[in-house]
Structure 1
Amino acid sequence: MTVLRSQLDVSSETYASNRKAQLEVLAQLDEQLELVVAGGGERYMQRHRDRGKLPVRERLELLLDADSPFLELSALAAWGTEFTVGASVLTGIGVVCGVECMVIGHDPTVRGGAMNPYSLRKTLRALEIARVNRLPVVNLVESGGADLPTQADLFVPAGRIFHELTELSSLGIPTVAIVFGNSTAGGAYVPGMCDYAVLVDRKAKVFLGGPPLVKMATGEEPDDESLGGAEMHSRVSGLSDYFATDEHDAIRLGRQIMSRINWRKLGPPAAAHPEQPRYDPEEILGIISPDPKVPFDPREVLARTVDGSDFDEYKPLYGTSLVTGWASIHGYPVGVLANHRGVLFSEEAKKASEFILLANQTDTPLVFLQNTTGYMVGAQYEQGGIIKDGAKMINAVTNSTVPHLTINMASSFGAGNYGMSGRAYDPRLMFAWPGAKLAVMGAAQLAGVMSIVGRASAASQGRPFDEEADRSRTAAIEAQIEAESHAFFVTARLYDDGIVDPRDTRTVLGMSLSTVHSNTVAGRRGFGVFRM
């Protein structure tokens, strides 16, 4: 039998303590997500409504199929910065007329939907996900263009938006722009470069230069409508493909476009009627310790994530700090690599490499569940070849062509992040649990290394070592690394695609697997499985 048997004691003090700590972290996450939904705040939201306009999330709700899920991405982008959390743009994967799409929607209640450096990164990541996974794109456009005080960080990289939109079109991936308000300067090229453009009467304003700029440049004094209104672009310039009477009509037209694109997924379909896990996903909260140094068995997570809690473990007696095996999630076959006790030894690296090759042989997507402190160090392990064995694993991850999905469950430190398909290794989608940490190493270890280096430097120069200054410096470094490895700090910089409630892991992975199957799912060929 390959069905997992849970050993979790839900009546224990440890379970209750872990669950309490996770609920506290989730409450902090919910507090930040409320700020994201609030956008520019009550005052600007009401002013937007007074102009007869819908908030971006209401536009989204009308666009998506009724009662269909929406996988929001990078919700906490710009957290902890001078910019509004959420970065003035909403991105995510949803279903429009039966077609899974990437939706990118400006939030005009935040500085008129102006694009800052974080909203640029968020938009580019959304377009990259659309391109790699072959997702049609729907843009909900209302933006004043670039946030001018930060233009030095925007102008050059922002050109990539146009590049991505035109490349999507060249790949036969449909792009739609529904323009509800301002689409100015560089933003005017969004409807110009999308395959389809819908403009709302008396609301959409699409021009390279607004009336003040035109007057300064040419002496003309045109009004908004004659310069860039929906009727002008529908009747005269031809930029508009569909003339909408109001926002509801524009969304109806957008859905109509998606209903006629004759879209087909290229990946194999999921198995029908997948079995639910035999254990309650709610119990995942009691598995995870708030202390990342306390390990947990990832099989307990898998028992509450994979179909029927059925997990066919590969090499269970070898390289036991890494759990590998075969399962399915929402009917999609997957290979799983999950860290157990954190450290990756040579055995784990070789086991992972071979497993990744096998997954590529059978065109099976890979799920990486990170909880690693990195590859083992020390004379014994260096002499045993940990560098070359770790390099094999990283080589296999790099050259694997089946889709990778990654979740940082608790910690992702050092080169273990690379070997477990971290952001630099192009997982199709990557998420983190709210208590997860990511850094070059743990805060205490990094501060300790700096202290040892400082002590050695003083000794080599024959000068006394300042113990008091060292204690102060160590405390400051620990505090800095602790803050910079925090899940909110990491996701704010788009080093992952969002923070997810651990209880939603199965749902998020299922939606992600459905997404990656929009494109071809194929492993690398040209080599056989080699023993290591």
Structure 2
Amino acid sequence: MTPFNTRILPQSEEFQGQRDGMLSLVDQLQALEQRAATTSARSAARFAKRGALLPRERMARLLDPMRPFLPICNLAGYGMDGGELDKTIPGGSQIAGIGFVGGVRCMVVATDSGINAGALTEAGNQKLMRCQEIALENKLPFVHLVESAGSNLRQYRVEKFVRGGGMFYNLARLSAAGLPVITVVHGSSTAGGAYMPGLSDYVVMVRGQAKAFLAGPPLLKAATGEVATAEELGGTDMHAAISGLAEYVAEDDAHAIALVRDILSLLPWERAAPAADAAPPCLPTEELAGVMVLEHKKPVDMREVIARLVDDSRWMDFKPDYGPATVCGHGRMAGQTVGFISNNGSLDPAGATKAAQFIQLCNQSQTPIVFLQNTTGFIVGRASEEAGMIKHGAKLIQALSNSSVPQITIYCGASFGAGNYGMCGRAFKPRFCFSWPNARTAVMGGEQAATTLEIVERDKAQRKNQAVDEAVLAAQKAETIAHFDKQASAFYTSGHLLDDGVIDPRATRDVLLFALATIDEAQRRQPRAMQFGVARF
């Protein structure tokens, strides 16, 4: 491998403009993340009155200090319900990610009960299920800090109720896979929330605070006429002494979290030593803020991105002169060989064929693949159709769909049309999938969509010998462009859980190193799977 010779001039006006634009988007991202934290923190007085820790305080006490943490679905729910974006609280009322507890790499989820009492939302349900899926695929213990008022009946949707069953299905699968599920009940855990501890392997309940019941006192009275206090119906002492739901009783939140750390310390689980980045890129990762153009019609050499991700900025290009708009090659990250596939334009027949071959070679050598999406899609036109774009594109889809090596996708720029699929978009199940804040995802650009519809309307009018109302067409065109552009935003797509979160481009190497270490650990781990999850007695 040879060092990459950059053509980027960090002091140039163009680079500085791109950097300023990207950092403005990063500021927007951080403001959205802070919005959820600020909203939750407004409940501080209420939590303090009952001697409870805020959800983020619980999470901070649970995680090992000074160890990395990878947030998952940080913008879940943003724009999902069609409300005003400046009032939407992202995060799905769940704080989630992969972190370390007593040196053990775990998936950790905390209900953000500072927001609407932790009531379950559609976005929160999807986020929780995605975290469970990641834990299953990467063989991670699952730690859940629960305090939820159950579903918000004022926002009831039957589809949310039906799909929500997947949360419990996944918990049963985690236990059966030999992956311990450890749950702390910090407060109320009602209805579906009661099955969270019910399907856990180890349950800690906080005395005087935790309540778990299928029907709380109001619903119980409405359904049966029976009257009971919350403590009588599902308090900690009852579950510890009578129902057997709780294995451990904690005196307060801090004690409960200490018990979780004790439980994990006693399990024969591999401890991950802090990783050292021995060979960082020669080209600064900080420059990733200015490398990427923000206008997707402008060309960019994605090797400039790769060179700021790989060890020593060394890179081995694969077939650089064949299908040159498709970039394939090898580099190392913290000493591990990684395959990269990216785009400097549309996917053409030669590029699709090259990428398909490269995927198969990575499978042969068991090399993980990182996809850096920046494509306007599969090339169109008479010449490309005659060259067999469909059949050559199908080769890429076949190779990708049946690839068995771990794949990680980063949306760096454009992700249009079937290029989203061919570059391992969400539907092709990459192990992890993150977006830069400038990324744009759509079946096509808004201008293209609007122009296509305009042509259709004009052809229809011509067939009927009718006059075209230019004002109406102009209004429809503007509406179509706005509709497409709104949904193409990385914040919008991430809010709909079409990725695992939006990240600062400058953190991309750290994110990739963390994800690759998680995958490597999973490949070496052999948990003792069983036919069924551990039943509670």
TM-score by length of 2: 0.93
Task: Write the distance in 2 (CA, Å) between the matches of 1:453 and 1:320.
Answer: 35
Task: Write the distance in 1 (CA, Å) between the matches of 2:277 and 2:286.
Answer: 22
1:236 to 239, 242, 245: 242
Task: Write the distance in 2 (CA, Å) between the matches of 1:292 and 1:75.
Answer: 25
Task: Write the distance in 1 (CA, Å) between the matches of 2:518 and 2:291.
Answer: 28
Residue 304, structure 1, aligned to residue 312, structure 2: no
Q: CA deviation at 1:219?
A: 4.3
Q: CA deviation at 1:407?
A: 0.5
Residue 25, structure 1, aligned to residue 25, structure 2: yes
The alignment's C-alpha RMSD in Å is: 1.9
User: Residue in 2 aligned with 1:5?
Assistant: 5
Q: CA deviation at 1:265?
A: 9.0
> Which SS does the other structure have where 2:523 is aligned?
coil
Q: How many residues matched?
A: 518
Q: Is the 8 A contact 2:41 2:54 kept in 1?
A: no
Residue 56, structure 1, aligned to residue 39, structure 2: no
Q: CA deviation at 1:224?
A: 2.2
Task: Write the distance in 1 (CA, Å) between the matches of 2:517 and 2:335.
Answer: 10
Q: 1:343–1:243: structure 2 CA closer, same or farther, 3 Å change rule?
A: same
Q: CA deviation at 1:471?
A: 1.6
Q: Is the 8 A contact 2:52 2:252 kept in 1?
A: no
> Which SS does the other structure have where 2:522 is aligned?
coil
Q: CA deviation at 1:167?
A: 0.7
User: Residue in 1 aligned with 2:392?
Assistant: 389
> Which SS does the other structure have where 2:413 is aligned?
strand
Q: Is the 8 A contact 1:64 1:96 kept in 2?
A: yes
Q: Is the 8 A contact 2:145 2:184 kept in 1?
A: yes
User: Residue in 2 aligned with 1:94?
Assistant: 99
2:349 to 346, 350, 367: 346
Q: 1:271–1:58: structure 2 CA closer, same or farther, 3 Å change rule?
A: closer
> Which SS does the other structure have where 1:177 is aligned?
strand
Task: Write the distance in 1 (CA, Å) between the matches of 2:353 and 2:437.
Answer: 30
Residue 121, structure 1, aligned to residue 126, structure 2: yes
Q: CA deviation at 1:239?
A: 0.7
User: Residue in 1 aligned with 2:264?
Assistant: 258
Residue 77, structure 1, aligned to residue 76, structure 2: yes
Q: Is the 8 A contact 1:135 1:518 kept in 2?
A: no
Q: CA deviation at 1:389?
A: 0.4
Deviations along 1:188-234, one digit per CA (max 9) or x if unpaired, are 11101011101111111011122233344444433222221112211
Task: Write the distance in 1 (CA, Å) between the matches of 2:263 and 2:400.
Answer: 38
Residue 204, structure 1, aligned to residue 203, structure 2: no
2:402 to 378, 393, 399: 399
Q: CA deviation at 1:282?
A: 1.0
Give ranges in structure 2 of 5+ residues lacking alignment: 526-537
Q: Is the 8 A contact 2:150 2:191 kept in 1?
A: yes
> Which SS does the other structure have where 1:519 is aligned?
helix
Q: CA deviation at 1:461?
A: 2.1
Deviations along 1:285-307, one digit per CA (max 9) or x if unpaired, are 12112211112111111111111
Q: Is the 8 A contact 1:307 1:328 kept in 2?
A: yes
Residue 366, structure 1, aligned to residue 369, structure 2: yes
Q: CA deviation at 1:150?
A: 2.7
Q: CA deviation at 1:264?
A: 3.9
User: Residue in 1 aligned with 2:141?
Assistant: 136
User: Residue in 1 aligned with 2:535?
Assistant: none
Task: Write the distance in 2 (CA, Å) between the matches of 1:40 and 1:148.
Answer: 21
Q: Is the 8 A contact 1:402 1:521 kept in 2?
A: no
Deviations along 1:130-182, one digit per CA (max 9) or x if unpaired, are 11121111001000011112332322111111100001111111111011001
User: Residue in 1 aligned with 2:474?
Assistant: 471
> Which SS does the other structure have where 1:48 is aligned?
helix
Residue identity matched to 1:349: A
Q: 1:111–1:270: structure 2 CA closer, same or farther, 3 Å change rule?
A: closer
Task: Write the distance in 2 (CA, Å) between the matches of 1:372 and 1:45.
Answer: 46
Moved more, 290-299 or 513-522: 513-522
Q: CA deviation at 1:516?
A: 1.8
Q: CA deviation at 1:521?
A: 8.0
> Which SS does the other structure have where 2:506 is aligned?
helix
> Which SS does the other structure have where 1:435 is aligned?
coil
Task: Write the distance in 2 (CA, Å) between the matches of 1:310 and 1:263.
Answer: 35
| Percent identity between the two aligned chains | 42
2:251 to 210, 226, 245: 245
Q: CA deviation at 1:272?
A: 6.9
Q: 1:363–1:99: structure 2 CA closer, same or farther, 3 Å change rule?
A: same
Q: Is the 8 A contact 1:143 1:182 kept in 2?
A: yes
Q: CA deviation at 1:273?
A: 5.3
Residue identity matched to 1:207: F
1:280 to 277, 280, 284: 284
Q: CA deviation at 1:258?
A: 1.4
Residue 413, structure 1, aligned to residue 416, structure 2: yes
User: Residue in 2 aligned with 1:45?
Assistant: 44
Deviations along 1:9-49, one digit per CA (max 9) or x if unpaired, are 1121101111111111111112111102123462x333223
Residue identity matched to 1:282: E
Q: CA deviation at 1:110?
A: 1.1
1:314 to 318, 331, 334: 318
Deviations along 1:63-109, one digit per CA (max 9) or x if unpaired, are 11111111111111111244632111111111111111111110111
Task: Write the distance in 1 (CA, Å) between the matches of 2:337 and 2:61.
Answer: 33
> Which SS does the other structure have where 1:441 is aligned?
coil
Q: CA deviation at 1:271?
A: 9.4
Task: Write the distance in 1 (CA, Å) between the matches of 2:480 and 2:219.
Answer: 49
User: Residue in 1 aligned with 2:153?
Assistant: 148
Task: Write the distance in 2 (CA, Å) between the matches of 1:135 and 1:41.
Answer: 29
Residue identity matched to 1:175: V
TM-score by length of 1: 0.94
Q: Is the 8 A contact 1:207 1:227 kept in 2?
A: yes
Task: Write the distance in 2 (CA, Å) between the matches of 1:141 and 1:401.
Answer: 35
Residue 490, structure 1, aligned to residue 487, structure 2: no
Task: Write the distance in 2 (CA, Å) between the matches of 1:273 and 1:128.
Answer: 28
Task: Write the distance in 1 (CA, Å) between the matches of 2:111 and 2:16.
Answer: 41
> Which SS does the other structure have where 1:344 is aligned?
coil
User: Residue in 1 aligned with 2:530?
Assistant: none
User: Residue in 1 aligned with 2:528?
Assistant: none
1:223 to 221, 226, 229: 229
Residue 324, structure 1, aligned to residue 323, structure 2: no
Q: Is the 8 A contact 2:67 2:274 kept in 1?
A: no
Q: CA deviation at 1:270?
A: 11
Moved more, 227-236 or 378-387: 227-236
Q: Is the 8 A contact 1:270 1:331 kept in 2?
A: no
Deviations along 1:471-513, one digit per CA (max 9) or x if unpaired, are 2211111111111101111100000111000000000111111
